[in-house]
Structure 1
Amino acid sequence: MRARRELDVLQRLTQHVRPPKELHIATHGGERDGQPAVELAPGNWMTVGMLAATVLIPPVVVLTVCPVAYRSDAPHPPHRLPDALLHAGAKVVVAPLWPIRDSAAAAFSALFYANLTWTDMLKRPAHTVAAAVTTTVRELQHLTTGQLAARHLLLPLGDLRADPTERPFADVRDHGAWTCWS
């Protein structure tokens, strides 16, 4: 019953919205009834099937969602959120392979969108997104806190701003997780 109410609310909200070119989901991930799902609000989960029933899945989906990729024991495919989104119509999905820090996800997102070539997106979405991910991962690994702050003043780096020469995301756990599925 609760899932039906959630679906009704989402359908009403999206009935007058043009289909998006890109969808960014930043939340917790998991499962609902054995299917990959995202938590839209505390205790309110939506499966990819429910999402696809309410909005057209756009060509590009970016997930800053944990966990997304490591459900190898799921009873039936698709067993990962990226697989489910591709099956629902996305052309390319960007997501981390493992849980990452919120600050690393925020930094990745800010850099990724700065690196994305929107004019090429409709012609070659997978190639365009993969190039942006590659560039973003390299930047995330090497940029210092001072450089990040100069480029993205609203980036929530918190205490990391204390040392402008520090490379806050040099650890492979922060930058190495990002990948493209297509």
Structure 2
Amino acid sequence: MQGLAVQDESRAGYERSKFKHWTDADKNGCNTRAEVLLAEAVTAPTADANCHLTGGTWYSAYDDQYLDGAKKLDVDHLVPLAEAWDSGASTWTLAEREAYANDLDDPRALIAVSAAANRSKADKDPSTWIPPYAGYRCQYLTDWVADKTRYRLTIDPTEHTALIRGLAVCPDQMIIVNLAR
């Protein structure tokens, strides 16, 4: 966590529409959401010519559930768009925010999870939300730190405290970061 600056955050000016997401960057007919679902499927779904997915099963690490059918899943921005905005993305260009919202280069950035778990998380950081499944919490926290560091985002004081406390109960884990941009 040494690479993360601690400072107050501001939601001023945030609108989800400032992060163009679920684009089809590689022009293969599948948007980012579908690409994540295809990559994370436990049992592969069938994709038609328009990349509509049928069948398949997925594992939701947040709540330790297996789900069948893509409609039961959300693709979560591990660090939510609003939290990224609060933490520095407000100064980014539209292109930088689009790249963040559709990051397929680091598999920790986007994760397929149950819609219920994602909606309970909403735009919260680890000071107000931790995955209900205890077996995933250490991974969640280390991925959070890696994602925030990858994008040179800040953490606020309560988030910092929550990360320190949460990671203290995790075994020593190396956090490897691939910087974006």
Q: TM-score range by the shorter chain?
A: under 0.3
Question: Comparing both structures, which one devotes a greater share of its residues to strand?
Answer: 1
Which structure's CA Rg is the greater one? 1
Higher relative contact order (CA closer than 8 Å, sequence separation 6+) = 2
TM-score where L is the length of structure 2: 0.25
TM-score where L is the length of structure 1: 0.25
Question: Comparing both structures, which one devotes a greater share of its residues to helix?
Answer: 1
